[in-house]
Structure 1
Amino acid sequence: AKTRLIPIASNIPSCQKKEKKFDLVHFGIISKGKGIEEFIWIIKELNKKNIKFRSALIGYVPGADNSYANLIIEQCTEQKCELLLNKSAAEISNLLAETDMAILPYPDGISERRGTALAAMINRVLVFSLRGQFSSEFENIAVLGN
């Protein structure tokens, strides 16, 4: 059987670019397997080097088990990463329009099924992610690592 990727659209609208408020963000549902730990590692490393930057976790906390989300929220707070939780699609669009870069290191790589990456891109945010089986479409529009 051949594997085929079915692209999705983003539910976050495009917004006019605004004055920069955030250098780095991660955004999406706060759950395991989204690369949030890598985002927190990056901001920890920047903080260790005393690099000035503003970061934010723009996220949705799912209603079920909040223990993982609580751990992530605690780590972000320790790193002085702004928490912007459970915002509307319009609010997220505005926040992305104020952002330079999104760190979205999906463990299985970026693909057209990652609505968060698509939302960042339509709001002119530079996306840093990982290569995966379905990431060839993103080679020229995102910064991809292995």
Structure 2
Amino acid sequence: MSTGGLVLVALAIAVGLAGIILPVLPGAFLVIAAIGVWAFVEGGVVAWVTFGIAAAVFAAAEVIKYTWPVKRMRRAEVRTSVLVVGAIAGFVGFFVIPVIGLLIGFVAGVFAAELAIRRDLVRAWASTVHAVKGVALSIGVELAGALLATVAWVVGVFLTV
């Protein structure tokens, strides 16, 4: 692959990594897709093994991203319905206050839903904190998986040059 092609793949990976932190784009998917395009264009055993490793890391991170935080939130007795209300409020908040409205809406939605169900201010706030920690953990796992896939790609590029 030409230098320009490598720069474009690297740029797509960088945009994907940014999309994980600012959830506007499907970040991890963009990272693995860019690595897949590189493997397709580059061809050869090294490129496809690199893609296979990156895809395995991506798949593992996606599974962990959904199972680990959910397990922790269940232990903290945060209900799924409360998270759904938080997600909807975050979605609305994203359009009302661009970018940061997602977080503000999510926190407000979880807090309001918990307060409506439990009628306990302290418990509602504790559930909100657990939900925010769960989302942060999910983002962290996804970012770690995408960064490991990126490292695999960088090693693959050096081995094919």
Q: Same fold (TM over 0.5)?
A: no
Structure with the bigger percentage of helix: 2
For the aligned pair, the TM-score class normalised by the smaller chain equals under 0.3
Larger RCO: 1 or 2 (CA < 8 Å, sep 6+): 1
Bigger radius of gyration among the two: 2
TM-score with structure 2 setting the length: 0.24
Structure with the bigger percentage of strand: 1
